[in-house]
Amino acid sequence: MPDKKNISFYLSEKEEKIMKILWNSDKPLSAKEIAGEVNCDWADKSIQGIIKKLESKKAIEVADIVKVYKSNARLFKPTISSDEYAVMQFDKFYNHDEKIPFILSALVENKNDDTNLPEILMDLIKNFKEK
The DSSP bridge partners found for residue 77 are 61
pLDDT in tens, 9-48: 889 999 999 999 999 999 999 998 999 898 777 777 789 9
Q: What is the mean pLDDT of residues 67-78?
A: 91
More confident residue, 123 or 74: 74
Average pLDDT over residues 113-126: 73
Computed over its alpha carbons, how large is the radius of gyration of the chain?
A: 18
Q: CB neighbours (10 Å) of residue 9?
A: 16
**123: exposed, middle or buried (Cβ count in 10 Å: 0-12, 13-18, 19+):** exposed
- Answer yes or no: pTM beyond 0.85: no
Which segment, 64-68, 110-114, 118-122, is predicted with the most confidence on average?
A: 64-68
The DSSP element (H or E) to which 55 belongs, if any, is: helix 44-56
Identify the structural domains of the chain with CATH numbers, from first to last.
4-80 (1.10.10.10), 94-130 (no CATH)
